[in-house]
């Protein structure tokens, strides 16, 4: 590896982004957004419905099917103070599906708004869920970094934690939109193929897809597969350190079915990724395979991809071999799905293994997502962003899209 990514100065990944270029709302028709095409250094533009025309027949396209949860809960104290409890990730039980199924108690790691007003340990809220009156309590536990352990309890076994979030939670739209969540966001801030609840932010590259675009991709002979990465609030965490060595990447939970891994092997370990979350998951698979090549009996804990692992345990095994190692692991353990987590940071100096093209939106200045894009286009990100700024593209979550083919 030529470049040590730890010493990259994040200030070199800045560009002017005026507030009026940030799309506050999506277009009325998702697939009518603009599409920037970057192919081997050349930039052009089209409309998103034309995406299938730019992809080779017989290729494999992979989507993140995570669903954004209504993760913000509001409690009003008797004093009138409003406290926001933002559920980040489940702790007890720490499996998303099991946690959502709980009928009396669930614990989450949460960010808390107006924390200084939460002095007594327990907050209460009376609510009616599925026709049942319940009292929901929130008890604050230990502090973990910028987050807190929060125990939720309620007094009706007919009501699950998923029911409570569905009725009383609020969808957490990105902070940089500088507006309140509106009813329309419940639909527009989900991909049309979202299925598995667990994200606190949408995999926004997927917001442009409609049933007609998905049908057109299949008509072109493109294989469509899904995986799951639950997007954490850390995706919005700005890089505060001068060098990225000082930035701690957030952990995100991934699950990939055996059938998707087999399909990747059938396509020689090559894929077109929809969104940076799919990119992070696919590239993490390679490094999980490297771990299993060294230690076939690695535990689930040992399979977690650490932030700098790809730069320390650099390995030359082919992607197909790495993927076969994962299949072997699933077989030995009688599993249909790989469940683990990743903290991977993809920055210039990273050598992509599986992702050969990506669909992605336009990201914030000085963000880890901009580093990921720069690594993919061999440092040529400014060409792309200068074009987008000069040609009236809309930026960030509800903005326009790009297809990158290095």
- In which residue are the tokens 């991934």 written? 254
Q: Domain ranges in the chain?
A: 5-67+187-404, 71-170
Cα–Cα distance measured from residue 323 to residue 339, given in angstroms and rounded to the nearest whole number = 14
pLDDT tens digits along 26-37: 999 999 999 999
Q: What is the pLDDT of residue 1?
A: 41
The answer to whether 34 touches 50, Cβ cutoff 8 Å, is no
Q: Which residue has the tokens 């599409």?
A: 35
For domain 5-67+187-404, the question of CATH label 3.40.1780.10 is answered with: yes
Q: Which two tokens stand for residue 265?
A: 């092997």
Backbone angles phi, psi at 345, to 5 degrees: -115, 125
From CA 4, how far away is CA 12, in angstroms rounded? 15
Contact assessment for residue 73 and residue 168, using Cβ atoms and an 8 Å cutoff: yes
* pLDDT value of position 336: 97
C-alpha–C-alpha distance, residues 369 and 13, integer Å: 10
pLDDT tens-digit profile of 56-94?
Answer: 999 999 999 999 999 999 999 888 899 999 999 999 999
Cα 155 to Cα 109, 122, 129: the distances in Å are 21, 15, 11
Question: What is the pLDDT at residue 66?
Answer: 97
Residue 184 exposed, middle or buried by CB count within 10 Å (0-12, 13-18, 19+): exposed
Token pair, residue 132, equals: 């049942």
Report pLDDT for 3: 64
Residues of the chain with pLDDT under 70: 1-3, 314
């Amino acid at each position: 590896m030529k470049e040590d990514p730890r010493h990259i100065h994040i200030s070199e990944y800045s560009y002017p982004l005026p507030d009026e270029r940030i799309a506050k709302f999506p277009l009325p028709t998702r697939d009518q957004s603009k599409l920037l095409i970057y192919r081997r250094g050349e930039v052009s533009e089209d409309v998103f419905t034309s995406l299938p025309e730019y992809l080779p027949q017989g290729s494999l396209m992979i989507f993140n099917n995570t669903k954004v949860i209504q993760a913000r809960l509001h409690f009003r104290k008797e004093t009138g103070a409003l406290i926001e409890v933002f559920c980040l990730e489940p702790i007890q039980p720490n499996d998303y599906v099991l946690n959502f199924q709980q009928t009396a108690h669930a614990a989450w790691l949460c960010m808390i708004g107006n924390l200084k007003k939460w002095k007594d340990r327990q907050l209460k809220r009376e609510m009616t869920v599925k026709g049942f009156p319940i009292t929901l309590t929130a008890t604050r536990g230990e502090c973990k970094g910028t987050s807190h352990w929060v125990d939720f309890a309620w007094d009706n076994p007919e009501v699950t934690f998923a029911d409570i979030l569905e009725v009383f939670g609020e969808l957490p739209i990105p902070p940089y939109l500088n507006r309140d969540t509106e009813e329309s966001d419940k639909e527009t801030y989900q991909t049309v193929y979202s299925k598995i609840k667990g994200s606190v932010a949408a995999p926004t590259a997927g917001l442009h897809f409609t049933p007609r675009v998905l049908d057109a991709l299949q008509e072109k002979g493109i294989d469509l597969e899904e995986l799951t990465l639950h997007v954490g609030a850390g995706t919005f965490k700005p890089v505060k350190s001068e060098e990225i060595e000082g930035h701690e990447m957030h952990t995100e939970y991934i699950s990939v079915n055996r059938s998707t891994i087999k399909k990747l092997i059938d396509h020689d370990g090559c894929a077109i990724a929809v969104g940076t979350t799919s990119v992070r998951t696919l590239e993490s698979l390679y490094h999980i395979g490297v771990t299993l090549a060294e230690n076939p009996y690695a535990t689930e804990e040992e399979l977690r991809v650490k932030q700098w692992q790809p730069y320390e345990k650099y390995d030359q095994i082919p992607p197909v071999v790495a993927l076969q190692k994962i299949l072997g692991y699933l077989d030995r353990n009688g599993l249909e799905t790989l469940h683990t987590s990743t903290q991977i940071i993809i920055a210039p100096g990273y050598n992509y293994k599986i992702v050969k093209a990506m669909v992605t939106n336009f990201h914030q200045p000085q963000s880890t997502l901009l580093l990921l894009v720069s690594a993919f286009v061999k440092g040529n990100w400014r060409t792309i962003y200068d074009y987008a700024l000069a040609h009236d593209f809309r930026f960030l979550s509800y903005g326009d899209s790009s297809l990158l083919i290095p």
